[in-house]
Structure 1
Amino acid sequence: MSMSDMSENARAIPRSEDIFLAWFFSLPESTDVAAAARVEIARIDEAPLRTEQMTRLRTMLVQASYPQPPMSRSRRRQRH
């Protein structure tokens, strides 16, 4: 396998961080992120085999599953 083949394969598999961000940004605004993360964690846990990438994704989802205090809309839109 040449170096170009290896770099092509690396690009074909999205990183766990990219998968997490795509999942997060696809959630509707009013979604309970913690509850949605727990659903995804359960899906990963049911998978017959788990890759390192899935384990990293699960770790990020566990962090997202911790309940967060609600933020007011004005604070969310605040620019720095």
Structure 2
Amino acid sequence: MSTTDTNDNAPRHRRSEDMFLSWFFGLPENTDVAAAARIEIARIDKSALPCEQLARLRTMLVQASFPQPSMSRSRRRQRH
């Protein structure tokens, strides 16, 4: 157990992968993922505090910004 697990006053740093998944699964049904990713990329690019974590998140969003074939969320779950 790390010290951040036991200390409620310690800042919690989320991993880029966790932030990406939270963003992705928080998107409403039938959202254009590529367009939503481009909006988030623009937000990151305007950020005054560039850091490695944001750079990694941006990389994942760039991948998500490529057009994907249309598929419902229920269909995505069946494929796994």
Shorter chain as denominator, the TM-score bin is: 0.7 to 0.9
Higher helix residue share: 1
The one-letter code of the counterpart of 1:26 is G
Query: 2:35 aligned with 1:39, yes or no?
Result: no
TM-score where L is the length of structure 2: 0.78
Task: Answer whether contact 2:30 2:72 (CA < 8 A) is retained.
Answer: no
- Once structures 1 and 2 are overlaid, which stretch shifts more, 64-73 or 13-22? 64-73
Q: What are structure 1's unaligned runs of at least 5 residues?
A: none
Aligned length in residues: 75
> In terms of Rg, which structure is larger?
1
TM-score (norm 1): 0.78
1:6-61: per-residue Cα shift (whole Å, max 9, x none)?
Answer: x4289710000000000000000110000000000000000112010000000000
Q: What root-mean-square deviation, in Å, do the aligned CA atoms of Structure 1 and Structure 2 show?
A: 2.6
Aligned positions of 1:1-80 closer than 5 A = 7-8=3-4, 12-71=12-71, 75-76=75-76, 78=78
Give percent identity, aligned residues only.
Answer: 72
Gapped regions of structure 2 (runs ≥ 5) = none
